[in-house]
A and B are shown apart, each in its own frame.
Chain A
């Protein structure tokens, strides 16, 4: 799929969308692409790819959480705002597509974001910093357990 040795965003979106045929995964793929494209040059080279994968699969919990934070932080300013989280959330929900049960409500993403912020935003300042994020995640059993789920992917 990538004979030139780099993945550009279109290819990335195409490939990713093949795994989620029912919904529209282009937005999420866009965010994911930006998370992998660490030097922000518009294409994911093999090094970027490998680095991302190694963090995800063999990194410490801290590193993984760091990566996830990086994914959510769209503008890479070190803070996750509600708008950014909302975008991410909408993208995730888009991937599910239209035919779901229960039917997707309009503000389900927003609610999800609210809950997320409730959990993560300790000082209630409306943004989640990396430390708050890591701290809250480490306190959450479920999240910790889920992170280990994908250890043996490769």
Chain B
């Protein structure tokens, strides 16, 4: 219920007086404002520093140490204060949390000390407000990394990790070469071979010496065998490494899709394809092209270099800026190439043969390269050429610093923002879960509030502690209002949980017995009326137990009893037992229900004595008319009330649950 609307609750309750003349059952008692203590100051002595606050302030968060009764453990009888042997500085922040609802993290505090204090007071760190949350998480992350490094170094010195499987050890060795010497060796060996492979690729093409004949051969062809052996060795190492990584990867599918593995594959494929396709002159051209891909081996270095990885990542994340740069460049190029082409069209022997041919000139000019292989000769061409070079400076020089600063900004931000976003999402999800949990509990308790209210009502004669805990005064008043409406109409809200209703009904039955006796003892005059007026509530609650709207079609009926009040007691007791037994009387019930849904008429013949079915209208009529006073509005038997035989003295509750 919205807080604003709660203000109107007293009005709605006052207006409920309008139902009173119409209602025929007595109303439930109103909830009083129990525990209306004056708010008291409590003193919290934290290592000598005394803090004072209202009790209700602390009770705002009942699931923490200070908000619950756990703090009673720290209560000092002599000084009438709560003594905590903890850090008073941090306690200041914690107490402010209770006061303002926001938990702040002071910068000067050590993160682990703060965490410990939070854990002691039962406060989740996720509640830290946005203002301090980033700082907190950063510090925590640093601390965690430091801890991890410490652990790693410890573990390295120990050198034993029996818990990890062989596969996991291998994967760990691959990812963090510092973990073991073997991994380090492997790391350096692969690095060396990558370098060797790249260098051989380069040196292959260097012309080294002449062969008898007049052609200069590149080294690759001169020492073909040597180079081939080197290449084979490198490729074998790479293949072995790739297969080992594939084996050790915790998620092979994900590993295969990762960029590094693609680079690995691309690096070693040309060799195998070359093996397969030797001696085939037609595709040797394509084969030669494939050799180009061998240069991708240099990207394998990115596993060894953090910087390369960062560069790749930032390029990826700045894709939009790069795209914009490219687009604006393209626009400028096209414009200027067109202009130059038409300007130079007139001159003879001009190199600007077509617009695409002018592209080259434009690019070279705009990037201030100026090779000079294409120069404009006409005056117009020269003018436009100079404009082109000036604007080139602008077009390129402007976005590039923006991109560069974007790089650094986006990179840092991405690193931090991603983490923060993920954590915030997790935090919000956690808080949301907590909220829905509590609102579900509210709905649940609201639904059960009616039952609980009945419990309250019947239990009020016994003990006050029977009342539900945790329902605020407004809630209990709201429930009372709903309960009054139920009483006015004689209907009752449905509770979906049959288990709950069964349990509570049996409790209620027993309590109704006591109360009934109590009432009977008190009010002799309306003795007959009173139980009859009680019974609808009883049966209505009892009815709750056995069916809901469209669920079950069983009926439970009472065995007829005599009219003596004592036997009514017995009948009430039987109520609880028979209710359990009702399921064991399928013949009785199913036959009835098989006759007709509205087989109340069929009930009559089965019940010898007079019965009173519960009714909406249970006016305490004079005893002579008691039977008619109550008729259950069972579907389809409108005239049921008149069907009741007139043995007025028998006030038996017949409960027909539909």
Interface residues of A (CB under 8 A from B): 1, 15-16, 18-20, 22, 32, 35, 49, 52-53, 56-57, 64-65, 67-68, 71-72, 88-89, 92-93, 95-105, 107-108, 111-112, 115-116, 119-120, 133, 137, 141-143, 145-147, 149-150, 152-154
Contacts and interface: CB of A to CB of B under 8 A. Distances in A.
Given A92-B22, A149-B27, A152-B32, 17 more contacts: A16-B12, A18-B8, A19-B478, A20-B485, A32-B18, A49-B11, A52-B14, A67-B18, A93-B489, A96-B491, A100-B492, A102-B634, A103-B549, A104-B491, A108-B633, A149-B30, A149-B484
A23 B641 CA distance: 27
B16 interface: yes
A96 B20 contact: no
Contacts of A154: 10, 14
B16 A93 contact: no
B21 interface: yes
A154 B486 CA distance: 22
B638 A64 contact: no
B620 A99 contact: no
Contacts of A1: 4-5, 8
A146 B20 contact: yes
Q: Which applies to chain A's interface (DSSP): helix, strand, loop or mixed?
A: helix
A93 B634 CA distance: 16
Interface stretch (B215-223, B273-281, B539-547): B539-547
Contacts of B16: 150
Interface of B: 1-2, 4-5, 8-27, 29-30, 32, 478, 481-482, 484-486, 488-489, 491-494, 526, 533, 540, 543-544, 547-549, 616-617, 619-620, 631-635, 638, 641, 658
A108 B633 CA distance: 7
A96 B526 CA distance: 30
16 contacts: A18-B8, A53-B11, A64-B17, A68-B20, A89-B22, A92-B489, A96-B486, A99-B548, A111-B616, A112-B22, A142-B23, A146-B20, A146-B26, A146-B27, A150-B17, A153-B13
Contact of A101 (B29, B485, B547, B638): B547
Contact of B494 (A99, A107, A115, A137): A99
B633 A111 contact: yes
Contact of A115 (B10, B32, B493, B617): B617
A110 to B, nearest CB: 9
A145 B26 contact: yes
A101 B549 CA distance: 7
Contacts of B2: 18
A57 B14 contact: yes
Interface centre among B1, B24, B526, B543 (most CB of A within 10 A): B24
B543 A102 contact: yes
B102 to A, nearest CB: 29
Contacts of A143: 20-21, 23
A19 B635 contact: no
Q: Please name the 6 residue pairs, one residue from A and one from B, whose CB atoms are nearest each other, closest first.
A: A100-B491, A105-B633, A56-B14, A115-B617, A146-B27, A146-B20
Contact of A18 (B5, B26, B488, B631): B5
A89 B494 CA distance: 20
B444 to A, nearest CB: 15
B25 to A, nearest CB: 8
A20 B479 CA distance: 10
A100 B493 contact: yes
Contacts of A152: 30, 32
B5 A56 contact: no
Contacts, number: 158
Contact of B620 (A52, A72, A120, A142): A142
B488 to A, nearest CB: 6
B205 to A, nearest CB: 82
Nearest to B656: A102
A115 B24 contact: yes
B616 A92 contact: no
A15 B491 contact: no
A111 B489 CA distance: 11
Interface centre among A32, A72, A96 (most CB of B within 10 A): A96
A152 to B, nearest CB: 7
B491 A93 contact: yes
A80 B413 CA distance: 74
Contacts of A93: 489, 491
A32 B462 CA distance: 37
Nearest to B480: A149
A99 B547 CA distance: 12
Contact of B19 (A18, A22, A92, A133): A92
A135 B186 CA distance: 104
Contacts of B25: 142
A83 to B, nearest CB: 15
A72 B21 CA distance: 10
Contacts of B20: 68, 143, 146-147, 149
Nearest to A147: B20
A126 to B, nearest CB: 18
B616 A108 contact: yes
A115 B619 contact: yes
B635 A105 contact: yes
A63 to B, nearest CB: 11
A105 B638 contact: yes
A64 B481 CA distance: 18
B68 to A, nearest CB: 30
B17 A56 contact: yes
Nearest to B23: A146
Nearest to A120: B21
A22 B496 CA distance: 14
B16 to A, nearest CB: 6
A115 B620 CA distance: 11
Contact of B9 (A19, A116, A142): A19
A102 B493 contact: no
Contacts of A102: 491, 540, 543, 632-634, 658
B492 A19 contact: no
B198 to A, nearest CB: 74
Interface centre among A18, A93, A146 (most CB of B within 10 A): A146
Contacts of A35: 18
A112 B490 CA distance: 10
A71 B1 contact: no
A19 B12 contact: yes
Interface centre among A16, A20, A68, A150 (most CB of B within 10 A): A150
B632 A112 contact: no
B421 to A, nearest CB: 37
B238 to A, nearest CB: 69
Given A89-B22, A96-B489, A103 B658 contact: yes
A104 B633 contact: yes
A103 B635 contact: yes
Contacts of A105: 633-635, 638
Nearest to A115: B617
Nearest to B523: A141
A129 to B, nearest CB: 14
Contacts of B22: 72, 88-89, 92, 112, 116
Contacts of A111: 616-617, 631, 633, 638, 641
A96 B485 contact: yes
Given A101-B492, A112-B616, A133-B21, A150 B485 contact: no
